[in-house]
Amino acid sequence: MHQPPHNRTAPRSPFLTSPMRLFSLLLMRPLFMLLTGLLLSACGQQRESHQTSSMFGQATTEDDLTGYDLTDIQASGELIAVTLSGPDTYYEYRGHGFGLQFDLAEAFAHTIGAKLRMEMASDTAELLSRLAAGEADIVALELDSAALDASTSAHGSTTGSSTISTPGSTTDLHACANHWVVRASASELAAAIDGWWKPSMKDEFLALEKQRTTKATSVRRTARPVMLSQADGIISRYDDLFIRHASTIGWDWRLMAAQCYQESAFDPQAVSWAGARGLMQIMPGTAAHLGLPMSAIYDPEQNIAAAARYLHELSGKFADVPDRLERINFILAAYNGGHGHVRDAMALARKHGQDPHRWANVDPYILRLSQPQFYHDPVVQNGYLRGSETSGYVRQIQDRWAAYRGSARAVSPNAQPSPSRKKKERRTHVKGREEFMNETPCP
């Protein structure tokens, strides 16, 4: 209700003008403030016990979270699924998700008009507890009755599914027709999954995954020679671009050329099985992150420039590796397999008493991240990795870089390297004056 404006000329209250009553009020004030503080504290504790903070800063009650259903997911535009890591469930490669359960969950999310956010748990018990707590919308994993019984107590059943409840929790969980699990309160979501699911889908997506893994090391490309002219020391027609952009990050341009050959064999139109594109095989998501529009992803200079920015970014993420030459191995591995997986391998090396800043110690654990006992290790945060590919990627680039150093000059006479690069690279032969004047190698 609208209140009239305060009248500054109104007479004072008799209560305020009485000395005795004023004295009594002053004595009661501390007691009043103490009682008020206790009441507010109790209310705050009660609110904290029933509320959590949402990503937008608004308080959301636990009942709101566990009652989250299909319409809420569609309104938010995001479906949160939780699963276990593995080659047959979910893994990341170059920032994109793969695996049967990821593919199925992404397909379902698309049908309900939402984007998928896939998260990992360490075991089945964590999967179900996170679902019951409202931290995820679905458990995207085929859980049979034995797996459910191991983590929950079952009660009752419905056609094509069963209802379960976690010990110590009143939140019931519901198994859908495809053996995914949702909260029993999310009846609309369960009905949507059951209506969408067809048993033939599993075989279709398994065939897709098998086809993808069969081509996992392939890139659709037209291969160019490893060196365009060994006699003239020319590696490729893109040498000047490598020189220009490698110099901005302090790399030997021949190292960047060696990486490019490993990625695309110098074919600017190359496309990998995972969707990476261009000379330096940049994934669409990475391109967006680097500010490279898809319309320019096949442009040689823009692709190489974006790759240089990404290499510089990765170098910063491994600033704790003090030796510069050692750090190159970590950067290359992260470019191929992802920064998080390399950090996982470093954590495993550290756990087993080895120096995690030496590639010779980390590389064996890169390989072991394809084994369940290692990618399920508590220190591993990013799950399964196709370790043999990442390990071989680093090794082959290093070998090719060594070969290029023996055949190509440090800097082409036609290049325009960064003027800030003044340091000269040592060479094993005596340079003529013209060559010396024209050469400004990268350190």
**CATH number of the domain that 127 lies in?**
3.40.190.10
| End-of-domain residue from the set 213, 247, 272 | 213
DSSP class of 169: -
> Which helix (H) or strand (E) is 405 found in, with range?
helix 387-405
Tell me whether residue 30 is exposed, middle or buried, using C-beta atoms within 10 angstroms of its C-beta: 0 to 12, 13 to 18, 19 or more: exposed
138 in a structural domain: yes
Tell me what pLDDT residue 92 has: 86
312 phi, psi to nearest 5 deg: -65, -40
| Contact present, 141 and 89 (Cβ < 8 Å) | yes
Residues of the chain with confidence (pLDDT) below 50: 1-23, 25-26, 32, 39-40, 42-62, 154-161, 216, 412-443
Tell me the C-alpha distance between 28 and 11, whole Å: 25
> What integer pLDDT is reported at residue 366 of this predicted model?
98
Q: What is the pTM of this model?
A: 0.67
Please give the C-alpha separations between residue 173 and each of 50, 67, 358, in angstroms, as whole numbers. Answer: 21, 12, 47
Amino acid at 239: D
Q: Is residue 10 part of a domain?
A: no
One domain for residues 247 and 302: yes
Q: Residue 392: which residues within 8 A CB-CB, separation 6 or more?
A: none
In a domain, 241, yes or no: yes
Q: CA 310 to CA 288: how far, in whole Å?
A: 12
Q: What are phi and psi of 217, to 5 degrees?
A: -105, 10
* 82 within 8 A of 127, measured Cβ to Cβ: yes
Same domain for 247 and 196: no
φ/ψ region of 383 (left if φ > 0, alpha if ψ in -120 to 50, else beta) reads left
The number of folded domains in the chain is 2
Q: Do both 238 and 201 map to the same domain?
A: no
Query: What is the per-residue pLDDT across 194-209, written as a single tens digit (0 to 9) for each?
Result: 999 999 998 888 887 7
Does any domain span residue 46?
no
The string of DSSP letters for 63-95 reads HHHHT--HHHHHHHTEEEEEE--BTTTBEEETT
Q: How far is CA 233 from the centre of its chain?
A: 40
Residue that is written with structure tokens 């490309």 in the block: 221
Residues 25 and 38: their CA atoms lie apart, in Å, by 20
Structural domain includes residue 17: no
Domain identity same for 328 and 364: yes
Q: Which of 213, 248, 275 is the last residue of a domain?
A: 213
203 and 315 in a single domain? The answer is no
Residue 72 lies in a domain: yes
Domain span at residue 177 reads: 63-213
What's the CA dihedral at 59, 60, 61, 65 to 10 degrees? -160
Q: Are residues 188 and 240 in the same domain?
A: no
- CA 425 vs CA 26, 195, 314, 352, 431: distances in Å: 83, 66, 24, 38, 12
- Same-domain check for residues 381 and 420: yes
339 neighbors 315 (Cβ within 8 angstroms): no
Q: Are residues 259 and 319 in the same domain?
A: yes
Our CA dihedral for 229, 231, 233, 236, rounded to 10 degrees, sits at 0
CA-CA distance, 87 to 99, in Å (whole number)? 6
- Burial, 360: exposed, middle or buried (Cβ in 10 Å; 0-12, 13-18, 19+)? exposed
Query: Which residues contact residue 172 at a Cβ distance below 8 angstroms, ignoring those fewer than 6 apart?
Result: 163, 164, 165, 183, 184, 185
Q: Does 165 lie in the same domain as 78?
A: yes
Residue 45 lies in a domain: no
Domain co-membership, 317 together with 411 = yes
- Judge if 254 and 107 occupy the same domain: no
- For 416, residues 6+ apart whose C-beta sits below 8 A from its C-beta are 240, 243, 244
> Does residue 178 fall inside a structural domain?
yes
Q: Are residues 190 and 257 in the same domain?
A: no
CA–CA dist 27, 133 (Å, integer): 48
Other beta carbons less than 10 A from residue 172's beta carbon: 17
Alpha helices in 1-18 (DSSP H): 14-17
- Among residues 213, 234, 266, which one ends one of the domains? 213
DSSP state of 296: G
Question: Element (H or E) spanning 182, and its range?
Answer: strand 181-183
> Nearest to residue 391, comparing CAs of 337, 312, 319, 344?
337
